[in-house]
Homo-oligomer: A and B are copies of this chain.
Amino acid sequence: MALLDEEGADRLTMRRLAERLGTGSTTLYWHVKTKDDVLDLALDTIFAEVEIPRESGQGWRTDITTLINGWRAVLLRHSWSAALLGRPMLGPNVLARSEFLYATLLDAGVTESRLTAAAYGLSNYVIGSALMQTTWLTSAEQAVRQAAREHLHATRERYPTLAAHGPAVADDDWETGFALGLTWLLDGIETGIATEDAPGRDSIRDRR
């Protein structure tokens, strides 16, 4: 984790990791089958940092917002993690957060027909956002971002709108933008609860 946080995913080598641990590189293979296992373990480990709201009594929107924001914060704090999300996440910590997400949505009255859409929508939004942001903050460090801005400026007659109302730059833009999109998704989910439009099927709330 320390090695990943400090130098990024591409600088993680079995040899470097072993050196960091004060051991031989081949020793690692006694504890781990492949390097991918190391990444899978690291990825699941950071999810333990995401606090699960318990019995907050603030309502499902608040709970889910807390979870999603915490998820995003962790992904951004460990900037190497977002690029690794393209692998199956089946670790216990990831599953525990998913369990909470599903349970909270279900408890809030989200119909099963919309349940996966809601859970996946929220997850995908976080993943995409974190991936996009870390792409521009870390892999660029400054060189690529500068080059991007210059390139946009140089070709501004071809992409006038993009050059004028360019992509986010300040940190606040990322924050408020993410929060805004999250409320849109939550509003949509909430509307699905109030207005049940799946005919012939009782809502969960009615069954209680």
Proximity string of chain A (126-167) to chain B, C-beta cutoff 8 Å, 1 when within and 0 when not: 111101101110011000100110011001001111100101
Looking at the complex, which one of B103, B134, B161 makes contact with A86 (CB distance below 8 Å)?
B134
A88→B149 CA distance, assembly (Å): 12
CB distance B124 to A132 under 8 Å? yes
Q: Which residues of B contact A125 (CB under 8 A)?
A: 121, 124-125, 128, 181
Q: Which residues of B contact A121 (CB under 8 A)?
A: 125, 177, 180-181, 184
A91 to chain B, nearest CB (A): 10
Proximity string of chain A (15-32) to chain B, C-beta cutoff 8 Å, 1 when within and 0 when not: 000000000000000000
A106→B163 CA distance, assembly (Å): 13
A87 to chain B, nearest CB (A): 6
Q: Which residues of B contact A151 (CB under 8 A)?
A: 90
Looking at the complex, which one of B87, B135, B160 makes contact with A88 (CB distance below 8 Å)?
B135
Nearest 7 interchain pairs by C-beta:
A184-B188, A128-B128, A124-B128, A121-B181, A117-B177, A83-B86, A127-B128
Jot down 26 A-B pairs with beta carbons below 8 A, ordered by A: A82-B86, A85-B131, A86-B131, A87-B135, A88-B144, A92-B158, A95-B152, A96-B159, A99-B159, A99-B160, A99-B162, A102-B161, A102-B162, A116-B167, A117-B176, A121-B184, A123-B128, A123-B132, A124-B129, A124-B131, A125-B125, A125-B181, A126-B128, A181-B188, A184-B184, A185-B188
The residues of A with any CB-CB pair to B shorter than 8 Å are: 82-83, 85-88, 90, 92, 95-96, 98-99, 102-103, 106, 112, 114-121, 123-129, 131-132, 134-136, 139-140, 144, 147-148, 151-152, 155, 158-162, 165, 167-168, 173, 176-178, 180-181, 183-185, 187-189, 191
